[in-house]
Amino acid sequence: MLDVGIVGCGAIGTILARFITEDASGLRLVSISDRHIEKSERLASTLTPQPLIESVSQMAEHTDVIVESASVSAVPEVARTALSHGSQVMIMSVGALADPELRSELVELAKKNNTKIHVPSGAIIGIDGIKAAKIIGMKRVVLKTRKHPESLKDAPYIKEKRINLDSLTEETLIFTGTAREATTAFPTNINVAATLSLSGIGPEKTSVEIYADPHLTRNVHEIEVEGSFGRFTTRVENVPSSENPRTSYLAALSAIATLKKMTEPLQIGT
């Protein structure tokens, strides 16, 4: 039985908590936390059995894995606390790991305490192929993201370049650059770009194209990969989660799959 704690009781935290308490064998939700106590209380009141509501350091005393489903700024404290107590940590706000100093500090802490950091594939598909292809190297990894103009409006790049998204009537390419550039230009794309870069050829060599399309109702991510292994393309059309339209339902499901994988004796997939 794997005892799980969740930090962040929003869209992902809620879906995970419900799954663990209702369906999962091998997983037990023992503790939850949110910076807004009323959110953890509200979630706890809907769950049977009810988890404890605790601080991250209290949680780390008695959990096997802590799931961070809060925010990029929550990652340093949650991950440091979990790892230094020998607990595993699963990071959803993976954009935090784009900081190389924090990443290597956490990896060293995990090694020292003989534990692990898990990063689910989240809202993209194809990480399995990239991990395999990476063994012999890849020469090209491109992420093509398509979103409704409304979801791109607040991006710093749109404001800085004074792009008028309201005037678009068809799909339009609005950004090309590296994954490193994309994370500052479009911070809401940070998790997808960071997961792809970290699993593959890094943020400087991963290319990103962002398209605005007024006809879209789902966020679409395509990944194109080329190397000596051959070539592949993946495409996912993501349904938004009901609690947070900015978060794809698939991201929460991939967190559940990662937790389940930790408990299963038969491991399928790269």
Ligand X SMILES: NC(=O)c1ccc[n+]([C@@H]2O[C@H](COP(=O)([O-])OP(=O)(O)OC[C@H]3O[C@@H](n4cnc5c(N)ncnc54)[C@H](O)[C@@H]3O)[C@@H](O)[C@H]2O)c1
H or E segment to which residue 143 belongs: strand 138-147
132: left (phi over 0), alpha (psi -120 to 50) or beta: alpha
CB of 144 to ligand X, least distance (A): 16
235 part of the interface to ligand X, by CB under 6 A: no
151 part of the interface to ligand X, by CB under 6 A: no
> Which position among 81, 87, 247, 258 is part of the footprint of ligand X (CB under 6 A)?
247
Can you spell out the DSSP letters for 188-205? GGHHHHHHHHHHTT-TTT
Catalytic residue among 62, 118, 215, 221: 221
Residue nearest to ligand X (CB): 10
CB of 140 closer than 8 Å to CB of 225? yes
Can you spell out the DSSP letters for 34-54? -SSHHHHHHHHHTSSSPPEE-
Q: Specify whether 148 is catalytic.
A: no
- Could you give the CA distance from residue 90 to residue 242 in angstroms, rounded to a whole number? 22
60-89 residues in contact with ligand X (CB under 6 A) are 69-74
How many residues of this chain interact with ligand X, rule: CB under 6 A?
30
Half-sphere exposure in the Cβ direction for 237 (13 Å, CA): 4
251 part of the interface to ligand X, by CB under 6 A: yes
Token pair recorded at residue 136: 């012999």
What is the per-residue binding string for ligand X in 32-51, x denoting contact by CB under 6 A? --xxx--x------------
> Which position among 63, 88, 93, 219 is part of the footprint of ligand X (CB under 6 A)?
93
Stretch of residues binding ligand X (CB under 6 A), selected from 7-15, 59-67, 105-113, 259-267? 7-15
Positions annotated as catalytic residues are 221
Site for ligand X, rule CB under 6 A: 7-13, 34-36, 39, 69-74, 92-94, 122-123, 191-192, 195, 243-244, 247-248, 251
